[in-house]
Amino acid sequence: MTTLAGHQHTTARWATAWTQLLEAHMTPALLAEGRTLLDGPTNALQVDQGFASTKITTHAGELRPRIDVPQLTETEWDAVYEAIAAQPHIITSARTQAVTDLLTDPQHTAGIPILPAAEELTFTCSCQPEPGPCPHTAALGQMIANRARTVPIVLFTLRGRAHQHLKTYLRRRGNTAAQPQPAPTSPETLLAPPPVFAQTVPAQDARYRPVYLPHTPPLAGGPTTPVLESVTEQPPASCPPLQALSALVHAAADRATELLNGVPDPSAGLAADLARFTASTPGESYTEQAAHQLGLPYAQMRQLTAAHRCGGNAAVETFLYTTDPGPEILAQAEEAIQPLRPSPFATLARDGNRLTDPAARIQLRYGPDRRWHPYIEQFGDWRVVPEPHSDPARAYKAARAALRR
C-alpha cells in the first residue's frame, strides 16, 4: 500500500460502502442466500452505464437479476474530474483501475458522491414480476462488491462514465500543463571544453564503426516447435494463464510482422492496444477481460473491437473521442453526401467531428487519419461498419450498403 497524504492507498472502502447500500435493502438471511448462489453456476458480471446484471442458473431455469442506479450528469462528472485533477496526491491512483477509496468521500469529488444513495438502487429479477430485492439480486450485489474490492472502476461505469474517460482527461490535462523551463546557461558553461571522452573517437569513426555479431551455429534439420508451445506447465498464480500468454505472444508476433512490412502504428493508448488484441483470432475470447481492464461495459468493448477491425487504431480513437475538425470540413462533407441522401430535405446534425443523417440512420465520424468512418443506427445505438474513406460520399455509400445487409 502507498500513502496518500497520511492515508494508506486502499480500495477496500469501495466494497464496504457498496455492501452497506445492499444491507439497507436486504436482511442478513437474504444476503447469506445470495452468497450461497455465488457458489453455483453464474455468468460473468456485466456492468453498463446505469445498471449491472448477470445470469444465474437455478433448478427453475436461467434467471436475470439486475440492479439499476441513476447516472451522474455530464456537468456533475466534469466537476468530479476537476476536483480530482486539483489533488496531486490522488491523481496517480486515479489513473489506475485500483482507484483510491478516498474518492468514496464526496469532499474529494466536489461534493458529488460517486456511490449512489441507498434509496437510489432499484432491484429487478426475472424470478418475480415486481421490483424488489431477491436472492438473485443479493448475489448480483455481492458480485459487484467483490469486483469493487480490487477494481472499483466498475462503479464509475455504473454511474455513467467509464474510467477510461477520467484517464484520458488527466492525461490531456497533464499534457497541457506548463512545462518546467531549463535553467539559464552561464557563459562559463557555454565556453567550457567538451568532455574528454568526446574527443577520443572521431565522429565519423564512431558512426561507422562495424558491429560484429556473435557466431550462430546452423539450426538442426527438421521441423521446429515454438518455445511457448513446448511449455505445458502453468505459470505462477500472479501471472495470466498459459493460454492467455500464448494468445498475447501470437498477437505480438502478428503485429511485429505488420511493422516489418511497413504497416504504420499510430498509437491511441491502452484502449487501442486491447482492441487490436481482441480483434485478433487469439485474443477474441478475451473480450470480457479487456472490458474489465478498461472499466468499459462489455458491449462497448465489442464495439471497440469492431472499430479496430474496420479501421485500426484511428477507428478506435474516433469511436472514443469527439473532436472539432472545423466547420469547413463538415460543410464539404455535407455537400458531398447530399446527392446520396434518401431524404435530401431532412435535417443533418453536426456534433464535433460527427455528421448525422437521422432519417437515413447514418452517421459519419471524421477521424485522426483524415478519413470518414461510417456508422449505422441499430436498436437506438450507433454501430461502426466498414469501410472508412477519405471521401465522405464513399463512406456514406458504405453505411447505406451495411444497412441493406
The more confidently predicted of residues 143 and 214 is 143
Region 84-93 average pLDDT = 83
Cis peptide before 258 (omega within 30 of 0): no
- Highest mean pLDDT of the ranges 95-109, 249-263, 349-363: 349-363
* Res 6: pLDDT: 42
In this structure, of 74-78, 165-169, 239-243, 256-260, the range with the lowest mean pLDDT score is 256-260
- Highest mean pLDDT of the ranges 50-64, 336-350, 391-405: 391-405
Does pLDDT of 66 surpass 80? yes
Region 315-338 average pLDDT = 87
User: What does the alpha-carbon distance between residue 102 and residue 108 come to, in Å, rounded to a whole number?
Assistant: 7
Residue with cell 466498414: 386
Region 348-357 average pLDDT = 89
User: What does the alpha-carbon distance between residue 235 and residue 368 come to, in Å, rounded to a whole number?
Assistant: 40
* Confidence at 300, pLDDT banded by 50, 70, 90: confident
* Res 271: pLDDT: 77
User: What does the alpha-carbon distance between residue 173 and residue 166 come to, in Å, rounded to a whole number?
Assistant: 10
Instruction: State phi, psi for 304 to the nearest 5 degrees.
Output: -60, -40
Q: Which amino acid is at 7?
A: H
pLDDT in tens, 266-289: 555 677 778 888 888 777 778 887
When the pLDDT of each residue in the chain is averaged and rounded to a whole number, the result is 79
Which residues lie closer than 8 Å to 231 by C-beta, 6 or more apart?
Answer: 242
- Highest mean pLDDT of the ranges 201-205, 214-218, 389-393: 389-393
Q: Give how far Cα 130 sits from Cα of 53, 67, 119, 160, Å.
A: 17, 13, 17, 25
CB-side exposure of 65: number of CA atoms within 13 Å?
Answer: 26
User: What does the alpha-carbon distance between residue 384 and residue 126 come to, in Å, rounded to a whole number?
Assistant: 32
pTM: 0.49
* Res 135: pLDDT: 93
Region 105-111 average pLDDT = 91
pLDDT in tens, 305-317: 899 889 888 888 8
* Confidence at 218, pLDDT banded by 50, 70, 90: low
* Res 362: pLDDT: 93
pLDDT in tens, 153-189: 889 989 988 877 888 888 777 655 444 444 554 444 4
User: What does the alpha-carbon distance between residue 383 and residue 96 come to, in Å, rounded to a whole number?
Assistant: 28
Region 57-70 average pLDDT = 87
Does pLDDT of 211 surpass 80? no
